[in-house]
Amino acid sequence: MSINQTEWIFLDGEWKRWQDATVHVTTHALHYGSAAFEGIRAYETETGPAIFRLGDHVRRLLQSCKVLRMPMAEYDQKRLEQVCVESIGRNDLRSGYIRPLVFRGAAGLGLNPLPAPVQVCVFAVEWGRYLGAEAIEQGVDAIVSSWRRFNAGTAVPLGKISGQYVTSQFVSLEARENGFGEGIMLDERGMVCEGAGENLFVVFGDT
């Protein structure tokens, strides 16, 4: 789904114009997926934009960084929350989607991530419903994917880590190639687990 460009992006302690917020092609995260991210919604209200569960999202981001052994001394909970809020205000958004991203930058090649610097980026954009404008009212056709959700012995489900989303891309592609709006993954036991890009909830009765 395409997004409209906004004006300001936070990158490594500075607010930069959209076109100036760039990284080098040798960036470690680009080659090896060494990054953590969050997707945070801000909704329009009568008193201004309201960010949904910002504190919980930032805590999970910091936990993911801990899993990846990316030190975040300069960016604690309060600082990251502040930047997320500012990303909405600076771009004059009444509602939007906030993407904080922490990644390993450029420092040569090789799987050892520790020599690569930790970089922090936050941007905010207008972005509609993930599965389409009518998804909530009309529902979405979904397929049970042939791809399985990885287990804790092969990856790290405790972290929202960029490199692990290749499987979700396969699920999404498979669904669309077969005429469906989304794919649902089973876990290694064959139990319903999650969608390619969302959690699953079951509603019983009217509650």
pLDDT of residue 202: 84
3, 126 Cβ separation under 8 angstroms: yes
What mean pLDDT is predicted for residues 18-28? Answer: 97
Q: Which residue intervals of the chain are DSSP H helices? A: 28-32, 54-67, 77-90, 135-138, 166-177
Over the stretch 107-124, which tens digit does the pLDDT of each residue have?
989 999 999 999 999 999
Q: What is the pTM of this model?
A: 0.91
What mean pLDDT is predicted for residues 100-104? Answer: 98
Q: Is 66 designated active site?
A: no
DSSP E strand stretches across the chain? 8-11, 14-17, 35-37, 40-43, 50-51, 96-104, 118-125, 142-148, 182-186, 192-195
pLDDT of residue 207: 63
What mean pLDDT is predicted for residues 136-164? Answer: 89
Given 16, 66, 78, 160, the catalytic residue: 160
Question: What is the token pair recorded at 159?
Answer: 């972290």
What mean pLDDT is predicted for residues 90-113? Answer: 96
Question: What is the token pair recorded at 153?
Answer: 């012995």
Residues near 14 by Cβ (< 8 Å), separated by ≥ 6? none
Over the stretch 30-58, which tens digit does the pLDDT of each residue have?
999 999 999 999 999 999 999 999 999 99
Q: Pairing state of beta strands 182-186 and 142-148?
A: parallel
